[in-house]
A and B are shown apart, each in its own frame.
Chain A
């Protein structure tokens, strides 16, 4: 079925009429370019290669401040990034506070890119931001379609997903 790519990976997380916009790596890159204070959140599902390297390259290419959730911190620290560790619910809680000054202390973020959080808790966090953080956009570049985000990659198999991530991390 054609629409299998754009219904939530776990179809029952569908929450209401508002659904994420399907994006390609190119559109995702445009969103990052446009953002003033983007943030990359990396979860425990991407703490091993090859996605560990893809994620690292994306962070480096776009000079993104990085937050890791669960125990993803060590893997990305070892890769040379300088992440900040939060529980996924903690960082979402901070993101929903318009007064929070962001991980760099320069002001609340305006774009949050999620990659590698456990699907259902990630979906819940995106739901929080959809409802309570209207000032920021959310983008997910997991291999699953996240309907609670503003923009999301579609459901994909590994190979296609790796290609997407590679494109996003490739120097122009």
Chain B
């Protein structure tokens, strides 16, 4: 913005042919444009809305349907006999409750482990400058993009040779492969917003570096750490492939558990499966309602802006 030569302003008495008519025309055009863009916008919202939300409607309808009305063709788009029996059946299924407890345990431990480890790493990346820092950061970022299916094959052999298959530890560790990179980048973004002056002030007051981190920085970053933890929880809760492969019925989590419970070789219990799917989605939806605020910021911090 520092141009050395400033262009002279045009003379004031420059001829302005039919100023009022042109202006009125432009205004009319803008109004027409606005109307047209409103119409275009609403059409897009309606069409994409149908694509985006009708499946959700169908999820709800099926979850509330009786088995008889589900296996009717063509399906009734507006259901007449609704029932909650699919949900009550869930509550009575001990195996599903076990899967859910497994999911809660594994996703929670994953979240805590990821946040603790990522806090130190993110803090280091954010507040110190040292050789190799950028390479380490890139390594963390890139590790998020390695093929999971391949990683799984060798994690399986590693866990197998340590006798760790079908344990919570195997699930937690394997989930950490995709939650940690995310948390490191989110937390680095959060530490970046904490002014360096604060750390310097703490140092002048005689606080050690550990003390500064634990008693000054961490409390300030707490909301961000909770957000990162929720993200990690959700990712662990949603995982399918690792839990499917590394654990059996005893330690399996809900997503693969639903497959083994409901998807049969010949017939799938669709209403129950849809009801269970809704139940699986609830914690995630609740988490995201809390996370709304961090959503864009977190995503951009982790992947886009760096």
Bound together: no
